Amino acid sequence: MNAAEATVTKAVPGMKRAIPRVSRFGDRAFQWLTLIMAFSIFVLIVLIGFELFYGARPALEKFGWRFLVSSTWDPVNDVFGALPYIYGTVVTSAIALLIAVPLSISTAIFLTELAPLWLRQPLVIFIELLAAIPSVILGFWGFYVMVPWLHDHIYPVLRSGLGFLPFFRGSDNGPCILSAGIILSIMIIPIITSVSREILRSVPGLQREAAYALGATRWEVTRIAVLSYAKRGLFGAVILGLGRALGETMAVTMLIGNAPYVGTSVFAAGQTLASVIANEFTEATDNLYSSALFEIGLVLLGVTLVVNALARLLLLTFAGPSVKPQQ
Amino acid sequence: MKKNSLSITAVSALILAMLAVSCSKNSGSAAPAPSGGNPSSGQILINGAGSTLDYPAFTKWFEVYAAMDTNVQFNYQSLGSGAGQKQLLNQTVDFGASDAPMTDASMAGAPGKILHLPIVGGGVAIVYNLPGDPKLKLDGATLAEIYLGTITKWNDPKIVALNQGVNLPDLSIIPVHRSDGSGTSFIFTDYLSAVNDIWANSVKKGASVKWPAGVGIGAKGSEGVTGQVRQLPGAIGYAEVAYADQNKIPYAAIKNAAGQFVLPTPDSVSAALATATIPDDFRFSIVNAPGDKTYPIAGPSWVLIYQKQNGDRGKHLVAFLKWAITDGQKISQTLDYAPLPDALQQRELKLLDTVTY
């Protein structure tokens, strides 16, 4: 990717000279137009943030920071706290990443490095098809097919085999935090896989050739020349997937069991920030109640921003000399 | 460079102008005045919003009523009871519909007096999934304990005592509740509050409540609850009778205030509407109503209108409501709604006569 960017910047001065002077007005107008478009995204985000903040003000004033650490969500008595929902959002997304990252990156490596050429295109098409399935359809499938199957065949095995861990104990419902994490992983696999594939494809062939020339095996070539070169890009792909997992609503609402929960068991029913909004906003008659739901939206926006910021920080620590792409 | 910064100023000015326009538009739409009026066809458009429970009844009524009054056209958005109340308060609709009565606090914020008109009755069925689909009998105390998490097995002595001769398995009970705010939850929790003191003092009643921690799971919508119950052996849930019938899930006979076990049917819910004590403002509850034939977990759904109506539109709306409360009941009955008893119909017509234009 970096290499591609470099070629573009180099090409630009030459292109400018090639354009005849007459069209300068058109050029400027075009520049303005794209600038407005780019700006409008910024304005949109600021407006959304402001609206959420404005709507959440009564709850912000009443609960302050306690909103983030309190586990009570009681619309009848007007007491609201978001901790179980923050917990549910973070844990389901973490489970999704735990499953999806190894799967997606191995798939991407297979597709770019190992698969025979005739197999690559069909596989890519299938992965893109998976990305095109609307989340409500995945939710339906999860509700009627995946969860009952997991409940009958996989969860009992986990329970008896890994029951000594606190994660695999507790209630036996079917819809639970683990089920939601699994459906999320299915939803983010195509995103992480296609972006990773593009990243790996952009690793210059010279890297590989150099490693082969040093007598590296195929695995060593992949590890030293390809993966370490592409590390930052792959990390970016994972962050894209995480972004979707954090905000995903419909399929999660259908499979998570919708009961506020903070604890160690992945078999317990949970709830996420997005699912509580989807569940409750239609009947939120009371002012403070709907304002608390606005604040949940604000928290979700905040969690997304924090996770993205942390990811970028982590990315900076990667930037050792060995990884920096050579120009 | 200089030119560049100039153009940036111009652009930001433009964006500011766009913002200003969009903001002023926004404040304009927040102002009252229900839209509609007279479109080119000369028809009056009356807007309503609210309860999803009422939606099938309204759709059918509008269809039949269209032939009786061609000057008026109805539009109903089934956004949920909460949205119905909110839109009525904001005066963005001509009428709201709600499965729970409005509270004094929310009516205090209204620009005028709001009338509650019971429009249909509905029963809430207790559905379950047990091997062999036995016919169950339950009472309020047992139901409350199941949802409080103090009864956890199907072969609990309290359930066995109510169901002599039924072979109840040693299976965990998974109580399923609505995860979304819902009038059905309101009726159900209203009932549990009426029959169980612990419930009345801890969880209380509401369209969304704080369900006892660690007990069971939540599912979205009545179809979510019935779907979940059908999936999970040992599950118990509550849903409108129509959903239980459509999904062919067995539902329990519930012990009423007179000690009889009754199934939810339009007749048993109507019986509850007839025997309940109904105050003049029509904000009432019919859970656990007296009488041998009453089904105890039931409730009315209300249409909400302002007492001061807006001229011609108001007259058309009131005429429609009068029809729906009387003749319309035969039509809604075909859709599994419980019809309003005659005495209640007469009282509501009297209330509608107090509307001013």
Whether residue B104 sits in one domain with residue B136: no
Question: Could you tell me where the DSSP H helices lie in chain A?
Answer: 2-18, 24-63, 66-69, 83-109, 117-132, 135-141, 147-149, 155-162, 177-201, 205-213, 218-220, 228-247, 250-255, 273-280, 287-318
In this prediction, residue A149 carries a pLDDT of 93
Whether residue B234 sits in one domain with residue B183: yes
Chain A (210-249) residues lying within 8 Å, Cβ to Cβ, of chain B: none
Amino acid at B119: I
Segment B29-54 shows an average pLDDT of 64
End-to-end Cα distance, chain A: 11
At B52-108, the pLDDT tens digits run: 888 888 999 999 998 888 889 999 988 878 788 888 998 999 999 998 888 888 888
- Higher-confidence residue of A156 and B32: namely A156
CB A280 within 8 A of CB A271: no
In degrees rounded to 5, what are phi and psi of residue B247?
Answer: -90, 0
The answer to whether residue B295 is domain-embedded is no
Chain A CB contacts of B204 below 8 Å? 76-77
Among A274-288, B1-15, B146-160, top mean pLDDT goes to B146-160
Whether residue B160 sits in one domain with residue B234: yes
The answer to whether residue B283 is domain-embedded is no
CB atoms within 10 A of CB A241: 26
At B210-259, the pLDDT tens digits run: 999 888 899 988 888 999 999 889 999 999 888 888 888 999 999 999 99
Whether residue B243 sits in one domain with residue B145: yes
In this prediction, residue B118 carries a pLDDT of 94
Whether residue B194 sits in one domain with residue B171: yes
Cα–Cα distances (Å) from B8 to A30, A41, A131, B2, B144, in that order, read 13, 16, 39, 10, 66
- Answer with the one of B273, B291, B308 that is the final residue of a domain: B273
The token pair that represents B199 in the structure block: 């419930």
ipTM confidence: 0.73
Question: Half-sphere exposure (CA, 13 Å, Cβ side) for A187?
Answer: 32
Q: Does the beta carbon of A254 lie under 8 angstroms from any beta carbon of chain B?
A: yes
Contact B220 A278 (CB under 8 A): yes
In this prediction, residue B18 carries a pLDDT of 46
What whole-number distance in Å separates Cα of residue A101 and Cα of residue A192? 7
In this prediction, residue B329 carries a pLDDT of 93
The answer to whether residue B290 is domain-embedded is no
In this prediction, residue B341 carries a pLDDT of 92
Kindly give the pairing relationship between strand B235-240 and strand B114-128: antiparallel
Whether residue B237 sits in one domain with residue B174: yes
- A90-94 own/partner pairs: CB under 8 Å, 24+ apart: A90/A303, A91/A177, A91/A181, A91/A266, A91/A270, A92/A177, A92/A180, A92/A181, A92/A184, A92/A245, A92/A252, A92/A256, A92/A270, A92/A272, A93/A181, A93/A184, A93/A242, A93/A245, A93/A246, A94/A181
In this prediction, residue B42 carries a pLDDT of 67
Cα–Cα distances (Å) from B215 to A62, A143, A175, B148, B235, in that order, read 29, 20, 13, 7, 12
Contact A76 B204 (CB under 8 A): yes
In this prediction, residue A67 carries a pLDDT of 92
Whether residue B266 sits in one domain with residue B255: yes
Which of B27, B220, B229 would best serve as a mutation to test chain A binding (most A beta carbons within 10 A)? B220
Q: Does the beta carbon of A174 lie under 8 angstroms from any beta carbon of chain B?
A: yes
Q: What is the CATH number of the domain that holds B171?
A: 3.40.190.10
pTM higher than 0.90 for the full model? no
For residue A232, give every residue at least 6 positions away whose Cβ sits within 8 Å of its Cβ, in sequence order, or none: A315, A318, A319, A323
At B181-195, the pLDDT tens digits run: 888 899 999 999 999
Whether residue B254 sits in one domain with residue B169: yes
For residue B3, give every residue at least 6 positions away whose Cβ sits within 8 Å of its Cβ, in sequence order, or none: none
Q: What is the average pLDDT value for chain B, to the nearest integer?
A: 85
The answer to whether residue B293 is domain-embedded is no
Hey, CA dihedral for B227, A271, A99, A232, is it positive or negative?
positive
Beta bridge partners of B176: B217
Contact B8 A35 (CB under 8 A): yes
Q: In the block, which residue shows the tokens 């690559």?
A: A120
Of B183, B210, B217, nearest to A175 by CB-CB distance is B217
In this prediction, residue A318 carries a pLDDT of 65
What whole-number distance in Å separates Cα of residue B269 and Cα of residue B262? 10
What whole-number distance in Å separates Cα of residue B338 and Cα of residue B331? 11
The answer to whether residue B340 is domain-embedded is yes
Hey, CA dihedral for B323, B329, B331, B335, is it positive or negative?
positive
Segment B252-268 shows an average pLDDT of 93
Enclosing domain of residue B177: 123-273
In degrees rounded to 5, what are phi and psi of residue A263?
Answer: 175, -170
Closest residue of B to A151, CA-based? Answer: B232
Whether residue B109 sits in one domain with residue B132: no
Q: What is the average pLDDT value for chain A, to the nearest integer?
A: 86
Of A31, A173, A283, nearest to B217 by CB-CB distance is A173
Which of A282, A293, A294 would best serve as a mutation to test chain B binding (most B beta carbons within 10 A)? A282
Of A175, A268, A284, nearest to B82 by CB-CB distance is A284
At B104-147, the pLDDT tens digits run: 888 888 899 999 999 999 899 999 999 999 999 999 999 999 99
Contact B209 A268 (CB under 8 A): no
What whole-number distance in Å separates Cα of residue B177 and Cα of residue B211? 8
Cα–Cα distances (Å) from B2 to B5, B7, B8, B13, in that order, read 5, 9, 10, 17
The answer to whether residue B191 is domain-embedded is yes
Closest residue of A to B8, CA-based? Answer: A32
Q: Which segments in chain A show pLDDT lower than 70?
A: 1-23, 318-327
Contact A258 B217 (CB under 8 A): yes
Q: In the block, which residue shows the tokens 């089904």?
A: B295
Closest residue of A to B205, CA-based? Answer: A76
Distance from CA of A189 to the nearest CA of B (A): 26
Whether residue B328 sits in one domain with residue B223: no
In this prediction, residue A18 carries a pLDDT of 56
Q: Does the beta carbon of A284 lie under 8 angstroms from any beta carbon of chain B?
A: yes
In this prediction, residue A22 carries a pLDDT of 58
In this prediction, residue A21 carries a pLDDT of 58
The answer to whether residue B357 is domain-embedded is no
Contact A285 B207 (CB under 8 A): yes
In this prediction, residue B182 carries a pLDDT of 83
Contact A259 B228 (CB under 8 A): no
- Domain tally, chain B: 2
What whole-number distance in Å separates Cα of residue B268 and Cα of residue B263? 7
At B301-348, the pLDDT tens digits run: 999 999 999 888 899 999 999 999 999 999 988 888 899 999 999 999
Whether residue B304 sits in one domain with residue B260: no
Whether residue B225 sits in one domain with residue B91: no
Contact B227 A258 (CB under 8 A): no
In this prediction, residue B257 carries a pLDDT of 92
* SS3 label, residue B122: strand
* SS3 label, residue B6: helix
Closest residue of B to A283, CA-based? Answer: B82
| Widest pairwise Cα distance in chain B | 93
Residues of chain B above pLDDT 70, percent: 88
Residues of chain B above pLDDT 90, percent: 55
Of A36, A77, A258, nearest to B219 by CB-CB distance is A258
For residue B77, give every residue at least 6 positions away whose Cβ sits within 8 Å of its Cβ, in sequence order, or none: B47, B48, B49, B50, B83, B93
The answer to whether residue B173 is domain-embedded is yes
In this prediction, residue A7 carries a pLDDT of 44
What whole-number distance in Å separates Cα of residue B299 and Cα of residue B118? 9
What whole-number distance in Å separates Cα of residue A158 and Cα of residue A169? 9
